[in-house]
Structure 1
Amino acid sequence: MVSQQALAERFYGAKPPTQAYVCGLYDDETQTIFLPDECCPDDLLNQSTLLHELVHHVQEATGMVYPCSAARERLAYEQKIGVRHPFFFWEEKWVSDPNFAYWSG
C-alpha cells in the first residue's frame, strides 16, 4: 500500500491534478498491485478495486491480448462487487471523472 500522492504521481506523472484520487493501479512490468494507504479490507469499493486490479494481473499472467486498453478495462470493470464504479461503459465509450482514476498500465 502506498500514499495517495505516490499513486497519483504514478498515474499522472510528476504533477498530478490537485483533486486527483487514484483507487488502485496495476503495473504490468513488475506485476504489482498498488492500493492507497487508506484502503480498508472491509470496504466494498476497496474490495472491488482489488478485484479489478487482480483481473489485470490474471490478464497479464496468462498473456491475454486485447486490441486496445479499453477492451482490457472492460473485462476488469465487469468484475465489480455490487458497487458503481467511477467509470461507466456506455455505448462503447469510456466516460470518466478526470479527478478519479482507475488504470492499469
Structure 2
Amino acid sequence: MIELVMGLMIWISTQTGWPVPEPPEIVYIESSQEMFLLSNDCHNEPNQPICSTYNPDHSNILGLYNNEIKTIFLEKDFWWASVRDQSILLHELVHHMQYTKNWEHYRKKCKGDIEKEAYDLQEKWLAIRGLDLGKTIDLGPLMRHVLTQCDIM
C-alpha cells in the first residue's frame, strides 16, 4: 500500500514539480451516506445551515481529502489492484500535495480550480494506461465542467 501511495506521489511530483510530502492517513468509509456527510458543503442562511439531502441513487463520491487532518477517505470496497481505484487515490493525493505544498495559496483558491488540477492529472495518468477518465469513473463532460468551475458572481 505505501509503495503505491509513494509511487503515485512521485509521479505527481514529476508532472508538477511539487515536492513529495509525507503520505496522508487513509481511512475507509463504510457507506456512501457517510462519504456524503463528510463531503457535504452546507450553505448558511440566517441562523440555519442548508445542506443537500442524501439520495443513495445520486451519491457518486468516490474519495475525499480533508486538508485539515491530512486524511484521504476511500470507499470500504477500494481495491488496490484496480487501475480505476488507483486513479481515484491519485486524484485525492493531488489534493494532499496541493495543500501540503502551499496550504495558504490553495485555501484561498476556488474549489473548481483545485478540482481541475486533480482531474487533469488523473486524466493524464489514465491516458498513459490507455483509459479514458470519463468512462473509467463515469464522469461525463458536463459534470466535469460543473465540478471544475468557479463561481462567476
- The TM tier, using the shorter chain, reads 0.7 to 0.9
TM-score, structure 2 as length reference: 0.53
Give the conservation status (yes or no) of the 8 Å contact 1:52–1:76. yes
Aligned CA distance change for structure 1 residues 94 and 14 (closer, same or farther; 3 Å) = closer
- Shift in CA distance, 78/95, structure 1 to aligned 2, threshold 3 Å: same
Larger radius of gyration: 2
Shift of residue 5 of structure 1?
2.4
**5 Å matches for 1:19-30?**
19=57, 20-30=59-69
Structure 2 unpaired stretches of 5+: 1-27, 41-50, 127-131, 148-153
Q: What are the residue-to-residue correspondences of 1:1-105 with 2, within 5 Å? A: 1-3=28-30, 4-12=32-40, 15-19=53-57, 20-63=59-102, 65-66=105-106, 67-80=109-122, 81-82=125-126, 83-85=132-134, 86=139, 88=141, 94-95=145-146
| Overall identity of the aligned pairs, in % | 28
Provide TM-score, normalisation by structure 1.
Answer: 0.74
1:42 match: secondary structure: coil
Q: Which has the higher helix share?
A: 2
Runs of 4 or more, structure 1, over 6 Å off, are none
Please tell me whether the aligned partners of residues 64 and 92 of structure 2 are also in contact (alpha carbons under 8 angstroms). yes
SS at match of 2:133: coil
Q: Residue type matched to 1:47 in 2?
A: Q
Assess if the C-alpha contact under 8 Å between 1:2 and 1:35 holds in 2: yes
Where is the strand percentage greater, Structure 1 or Structure 2? Answer: 1
Q: Number of residue pairs matched?
A: 94
Q: Using the alignment, how far apart are the partners of 1:35 and 1:95 within structure 2?
A: 22
Query: Structure 2: which amino acid aligns with 1:74?
Result: K
